[in-house]
A and B are shown apart, each in its own frame.
Chain A
Amino acid sequence: MEILVCVKRVPDTAENEIELNSAGNDIERDDLVYSVNEWDNYAVEEAIQIVDKVGGTVTVVTVGDEDADEVLRREMAMGAQNGILLNDEAFEDSDAMGIATLLKAAAEKGKYDLIMTGAQADAGYAAVGGMLAAMMDLPYASLVNMVEVGDGKLTVGREIEGGNQEINEIELPCVLSIQTGINEPRYVGIKGIRQVSGIEIPEFDAAGLGVDPATVGAAGAKTKRVDYFIPETGEGAEMLTGSTEEIIAKLIDIMKANGGLK
């Protein structure tokens, strides 16, 4: 099976102290450490596992500048065979539709049976997967947490509100957006990354993709972020203090007073 996984380089929340910039519409990006978007990493792991089972190749694609090379290589060290970098100044500040337009162009350069994205990334309202499917006129399932390969179709599990699980059949080719927890992504060591450091990664600009620069990037964006803030801690939280026994007694009192215990 030929699989294309769309990945993105994002600030790593675990390794950064996030601060807002002075304009208040983004985070301070100096001193940030970047890594692959967590959802995308699960998608790549899933793709590798599928290929391990049924054969084929995994290709990872990203929209970004030269720095994005690092996440492509990381995913290739993980086991993806090919990488594609979509890099053009005209792509900067694309909104979800712009990104989907670019990914569609890249996807149509190959012949993929399955396209995967992460369920969401650091920006873009978790929309890219769905938009890409619609633009390519392919069936789509979101928040997928289980994939089984069948003949010409997949059986996919989807997480439903309240912890319920839904199982659907979906015909290939299709697009899936992958939820974290679908697998346990493998560790990528320094050695693996170094061993793929010499591999040539093909790069496409707007002309190479045959995309009109006016439809993507800041020029083509129809949505715009206007604010970014850390919500203030609200009222109503109460810290219980005292010994464990005292805390338990207070907690029982509160629960009784509010009807949680009878």
Chain B
Amino acid sequence: MEPLIAPAQYTFLGIPTVLFSVLIPIVGIALFTYIMAKRIAPLTRARKDERFDAIPQRIWNVALIWLGQIRQPRYMMGGVLHILIFFGFLVLALRSMSLVVIGVIPDFALPGFGHDQMIGMIYNVAKDYAATIVFVACFVAAIRRGIFRPERYEVPARFGKDHTAEAVFVLCIIMTLMVSESLFEAALVAAQIQTGAHAHFLPPGSLPWFLQNSLLNTPMETLQTLHVAAYFIHDFTFFFFLCFLPLGKHFHVITSLFNVYFMRTRRGNIKPIEYGLSAEEMENLKSIGVKKLEDFTWKHILDFYTCADCGRCSDQCPANTVGRALSPRFISIKGREAVFNTYPLTGPILKSENLVGNVYDEDEIWSCTTCGACEEECPIGIEYIDKIVDMRRGLVDDGEVPQTLQKPMQALAKRGNAWGKMEKKRADWTKDIAEECPVKVVDGEESVNTLYFVDSISSFDDRMVDIAKSTAKLLQAAGENFGILGKAEKDSGNEVIRFGEEFLYQDLKNHNMEQIKESGAKRIVTADPHAFNALKNDYQLSIPVEHISSVVTRAVKAGKIKLKTITDATRVYTYHDPCYLGRHNGVYEDPREALNAIPGIRTVEMLKSGDRSFCCSGGGLMLFYEPHEEERMAVLRVKMAAKAGANVIVTACPFCLVNMEDAIKVAGYEGKIEALDLVELLDQHMVK
């Protein structure tokens, strides 16, 4: 016989409280079901998406990213707090569900989880400590969020009001849950101790243990009130919270598991205009790309729901950092607001308006360099590049393209390169090295094993042709039987597809694929990560594609390429990871190995390197775009290199090199810092 009456048997003003124990869950679950049905409606009206493949990898993603919280500690303070709360929630889920039943059946325990059973005893200790940890973590988080206010949570005026109140409110709800659950238990145990009954064990140092100790001299009637009141506060708060979740950023508590399961499994590719359509069907579509909400796929709507407003994407986003219009976090938040407004909880579904002009502005959509820093960082698998590209497709379809980008697009359509250079001059760079390193132009007669895909910028740009020359020399030194397509090559189209001009991209791709097939090459090597990415991830060729850094690293290891010692000891090198080599394709180590293979080289790493590398803003056509920004990305990058103590920035991408060289001048480091491509550096140090 327990010393206190359980909520299931208590009466308040003559009303048996068990009534509330039944009513609160029924109303709560009904309301929750209603809200969820309203939230699921837009998903069913959104476009198709193909996310039901690659099941083992998806399960692995869930294990690592959702359950393992592997991306959380990238932001140590917030990450650790989140991990504590997350695991606390997982542990407490069982208890919360049992508590709902206890309101009706006082002695209810899940099979094996009784107070006198082994698992039950262990679980009770675990859940008491979990509640304590969650309480403390939420308390610290609330102080951090409400008082210290880390910069990345700020809401720029153009994106609306501050979000602190909602964040702190939810933390208070969670703390209320923890305290009420503990108090319910503590009041009972205090009463058990006071009456000398067999007392439940409360683990020392836990929240209920503290509460129980402070209640040892409290009158029994008060304990009784506390016991029942705590129960119903918990019960009510629990169902309130459940229904509150789908109304804002805490929806992620429910959706993140699904969002991570359905997250991107391939890297570097762009989604098709619409899944399941043939090329011809796509061409005959009346409207292409995303113009209205329902043009997004269901996964992209789920992304909007899932955004936890943690601000990591925007903190890493180079466009946001230099003050461009884009902040990926608000792509999600504004998207969610648009869904919520168009699909209200009560009343009819509204007509969707054009997204660009109402929800997003054009400058926001064109500001993205598709560097992928946001997606790399998002702890719950939200995607941005496909959404941006889809909205660009919509703009292109409506002819809404910035004037500065129209010329390069026309040139690409007519000449196969954005600079409008003549096709027949594509192989002109080979003339300069004809004696030292003759480069075969594959024209149907000669066959080669390896095709060097040069791509436009390294073929035509007066400075970047040096990359092509050095690449050819390295390939020769590595003993490769290689050739180039010459005038038969057209731009890889990596930027064209990302710009949203799908059909021009298809033309370029089809042309190049045919030329590649005719060349008879068994593999492709390129020194341009943009070409590397398009050929590897967008074209889906049947032959392997490699970046030159991997080829060279192997040749150095095999002793085919021998490198001389660095002569100038004052030079400190730093490697800048190109987005399309690193983040989109995971090639981080080969360029570093190749660099470090030069005897005597001194290298340093910049603060932002590897998968957190900072984009140079070069993403192909962005070279031609004039965004509104406070500072140039590459200027910021050069400053980072200077801060790291480097005086040579080594990159492995012609677009990066263009931007770095310009930025060195703009930032006033001319003569102090130099930029060059990895292949140029290796070529200089090759024993010939």
In the complex, whether B272 has a CB less than 8 A from a CB of chain A is: no
- Neighbouring B residues of A188 by C-beta, 8 Å: 399
- Pick the contact of B424: A31, A184, A191 (CB < 8 A): A31
In the complex, whether A194 has a CB less than 8 A from a CB of chain B is: yes
| Interface-centre pick from B399, B400, B421, B502 (highest chain A CB count, 10 A) | B399
Contact: A194 with B503, CB < 8 Å?
yes
Interface-located stretch among B336-344, B406-414, B606-614: B406-414
- Pick the contact of B410: A35, A191, A192, A194 (CB < 8 A): A35
Assembled-state Cα–Cα distance A187/B396 (Å): 7
- Pick the contact of A187: B409, B421, B503 (CB < 8 A): B409
- Neighbouring A residues of B501 by C-beta, 8 Å: 189-190
Q: Is the interface of A mostly helix, strand, loop or mixed?
A: loop
Interface-located stretch among A10-18, A61-69, A92-100, A117-125: A10-18
In the complex, whether A102 has a CB less than 8 A from a CB of chain B is: no
Contact: B504 with A190, CB < 8 Å?
yes
Contact: B396 with A189, CB < 8 Å?
yes
Interface residues on A, range: 20 to 34
- Neighbouring B residues of A195 by C-beta, 8 Å: 283
Contact: B414 with A12, CB < 8 Å?
yes
Assembled-state Cα–Cα distance A116/B501 (Å): 30
A262 vs chain B, min Cβ distance (A): 32
In the complex, whether A33 has a CB less than 8 A from a CB of chain B is: yes
- Neighbouring A residues of B413 by C-beta, 8 Å: 190
Q: Hey, what's the 0/1 contact readout for B467-507 against A, CB within 8 Å counting as 1?
A: 00000000000000000000000000000000001111001
Q: A15-B420, A16-B420 are in contact. Are A190 and B507 (CB under 8 A)?
A: yes
Assembled-state Cα–Cα distance A12/B502 (Å): 23
Contact: A31 with B422, CB < 8 Å?
yes
Assembled-state Cα–Cα distance A31/B423 (Å): 9
Q: Hey, what's the 0/1 contact readout for A177-207 against B, CB within 8 Å counting as 1?
A: 0000000111111111011000000000000
Assembled-state Cα–Cα distance A78/B401 (Å): 13
Contact: A187 with B414, CB < 8 Å?
no
Contact: B283 with A194, CB < 8 Å?
yes
- Neighbouring B residues of A194 by C-beta, 8 Å: 283, 503
Contact: B400 with A187, CB < 8 Å?
yes
Contact: A189 with B403, CB < 8 Å?
no
Could you tell me which A residues sit within 8 Å of B by CB distance?
12, 14-17, 31, 33, 35, 78, 184-192, 194-195
Besides A33-B415, A189-B396, 14 other A-B contacts (C-beta < 8 A): A14-B407, A14-B410, A15-B410, A16-B422, A17-B421, A31-B422, A31-B424, A35-B410, A185-B406, A186-B398, A186-B400, A189-B399, A191-B503, A192-B399
Question: Would you give 26 A-B contacts (Cβ < 8 Å), ordered by A?
Answer: A12-B420, A14-B407, A14-B420, A15-B420, A17-B421, A33-B414, A33-B415, A33-B420, A185-B403, A186-B399, A186-B401, A187-B401, A187-B405, A187-B406, A187-B409, A188-B399, A189-B396, A189-B501, A189-B503, A189-B504, A190-B501, A190-B503, A190-B504, A190-B507, A191-B283, A191-B502
The list of the 6 closest CB pairs from A to B, nearest first, reads A186-B399, A15-B420, A187-B401, A190-B503, A187-B399, A33-B414
